[in-house]
Structure 1
Amino acid sequence: MLLCRHIPLLAAAVKQFIDFIPLVLFFIVYKLEPRAIELAGNTYMLGGIFSATAVLIISSVIVYGTIFLLQRRLEKGQWLTLVACLVFGGMTLAFHSETFLKWKAPVVNWLFALAFAGSHFIGDKPLIQRVMGHALSLPQPIWVRLNLAWIAFFLVCGCANLFVAFTFHEFWVDFKVFGSLGMTVLFLVGQGVYLARHIHDGETEKPQQ
């Protein structure tokens, strides 16, 4: 029973960490010393921001394309992440300016925050309840607080990424990968602790006749 209660939390964590696979590959290539490599008779530069951006785009297409082939669908958040990667990454390569890529994380996080906030006014349930409600039974006020927590999380992540990207240029890639990952882990752990205190209340709550 305890394992079943935590399955939705584990699923949420897995979905979050899937998003970091292209970012980790991006980080590895970014940190490489620039070098020329031969591939299929062509010469490519590997290392630095622009080749790392190309790897980010390619790996994102592969990761989310694989998910789509396996599940026959992508969630809205995954579509948003993929499209943002293609748009901001594509503009970075097209205009040869990393400024566009620096805006990707803040914009995506703020759009997620907007979606969670909008669910308080559109529809009959907060967005987090629509995502996790099939697996968890919680009192309605807890769903509302949890949704507000996700709004705050995405707003803080967006602002933190924007601040670091344009203030600490030499560290922004490190923060984009590991800072965001650290904040996500801490938030998910905190969410798990919070939910563990209230799951029993939701299970014992009697439905209205």
Structure 2
Amino acid sequence: MKQLIDFIPLLLFLCVFKTDPRTLDIAGHVVNVGGIFSATWVLVISSLIVYGALFLHQRKLEKGQWVTLLGCLVFGGLTLAFHSETFLKWKAPVVNWVFALAFLGSHFIGQQVLVKRIMGHALSLPEPVWVRLNVAWIIFFIFCGAANLFVAFTFESIWVDFKVFGSLGMTLLFLLGQGLYLSRHLHDTDAKQEK
């Protein structure tokens, strides 16, 4: 559920981006709607609202949510300040690569790899499985960052669609694969506990 909440600003961004550009008069203020720059405003504002509400509700944000929010604010802010979508195109690759670095760094810093810190309270797995799972996340984030970068600068006409649906699709496929991988090991764990 938390991962789906993270996609709300992105889906709103897509909706506004796909809207035919028009000018609206709202309470005496002229507002341009549609296109990359109004969509970027929506991305920044909705990110602040979504993560602000999560912070108020949970009294904290997870580190990944802080990274995502900061990425939206920095790259969205630069896009709006310099009126160049190039900055926004770099957001997804950079955020994915920051996550990859965090998972990689956990092999050298701390007592546990990052995936075990995140999921260890819910699962009991052998240490080599945790390490392989952590490496899978590193590869996944590197691949997602590279795919987003490639599409953004090679297929500019579809990069927004790919950013939303491609990222969501890759994440769902990866989570499905992770579930299949874990299901093999969960049966092993259950059998050991019964003996």
Give the corresponding residue for 1:37. 24
User: What residue in structure 1 maps to residue 56 of structure 2?
Assistant: 69
Counterpart for residue 172 of structure 1 = 159
Name the residue aligned to 2:7.
20
| Maintained 8 Å contact 1:139/1:201 | no
Give the superposition deviation at 1:183: 0.2
Match of 2:86 in 1: 99
Match of 1:79?
66
Shift of 1:15: 2.2
* Cα deviation code 1:109-142 (max 9, x no counterpart): 0000000000000011000000000111111110
Amino acid in the other structure paired with 1:94: A
Aligned to 2:125: 138
Structure 1 pair 204–125 and aligned structure 2 pair: CA distance change class (3 A): farther
Match of 2:75 in 1: 88
Structure 1 stretches of 4+ moved >2 Å? 200-206
SS in 2 for 1:36: strand
Deviation sequence 1:26-66 (CA, Å, 0-9, x none): 00100111011122321100000000000000110111011
| Greater relative contact order (CA < 8 Å, ≥ 6 in sequence) | 1
Aligned to 2:104: 117
Contact map agreement 1:117 1:148 (CA 8 A) in 2: yes
* Cα distance in 1 between the residues matched to 2:2 and 2:113: 19
The answer to whether the 8 A contact 1:138-1:201 is kept is no
Alignment correspondent of 2:44:
57
Distance 1:202 1:126 in 2: 19
Unaligned runs of 5+ in 1: 1-13
Q: Counterparts of 2:108 and 2:192 in 1: how far apart (Å)?
A: 25
Q: Alignment identity in percent? A: 71
Q: TM-score, normalised by structure 2?
A: 0.96
Is 1:189 equivalent to 2:176 in the alignment? yes
The one-letter code sitting in structure 1 at the alignment partner of 2:185 is H
SS at match of 2:15: helix
Name 1:8's counterpart in structure 2.
none
State the distance in 2 between where 1:35 and 1:142 align: 53
Deviates more, 1:83-92 or 1:192-201: 192-201
CA distances 1:134-164 after superposition (whole Å, capped 9, x unpaired): 1111111100000000000000000000000
* Deviates most, 30-39 or 83-92: 30-39
SS in 2 for 1:125: coil
Distance in structure 2 (CA, Å) of the matches to 1:139 and 1:171: 42
**Rounded Cα–Cα distance in structure 2 between residues aligned with 1:117 and 1:47:** 39
Query: How far apart are 1:93 and its partner, in Å?
Result: 0.3
